[in-house]
Amino acid sequence: MTTPFQRGLGSWTQYRSMFDLSESDEVDLHFGPRDRSVSYDQVMRDLICLVEDKLRDAQQRGRPYVMFIHGSSTSRRGRRTARSQVRGFMRSKAATPLIERKHCIQHYTVFVAKLRPMPDATAAPVLLGDPANSSPRPDQ
């Protein structure tokens, strides 16, 4: 299976200076011991929500990159990890309006997401068929 992302090599810390990341551009997904009263499935769903929220927040702040520090643990068949959840979300349709996949970096221990710029909300939509948006024909 091919990936739409660039492959990252070397130390993941290189991306801090490479992309001029601030502390708020880094999301460390190592939360320590989890609350056992919350199911693992719920924790993984919450993680996906967190990833999407962090991408939206950074996009609204005009930041170009977000780095998710997910660690190197891999999932076995039928198991999920923060790493597999982050990568899965980045491949999903929900991520499409948020990231530019061809500029994202999939590293062994981190994922660097290149954000799409916020759509310009101040630009008025052009309405087709609106006389104000049409130019006179040369024969008139």
Model pTM score: 0.80
Q: How far apart are CA 38 and CA 102, in angstroms?
A: 36
Given a contact cutoff of 8 angstroms between Cβ atoms, the answer to whether 70 and 107 are in contact is no
Write down all domains in the chain, each with its CATH number in brackets.
6-118 (3.30.1370.110)
User: Taking residues 8-29, what's their average pLDDT?
Assistant: 95
Task: State the pLDDT confidence band at 73, using cuts at 50, 70 and 90.
Answer: confident
In sequence order, which residues have a C-beta less than 8 Å from that of residue 133 and are 6 or more positions away?
126, 127
From 50-54, 105-109, 126-130, the region with the lowest mean pLDDT: 126-130
Given a contact cutoff of 8 angstroms between Cβ atoms, the answer to whether 104 and 114 are in contact is yes
Please give the single-letter amino acid code of residue 134: S
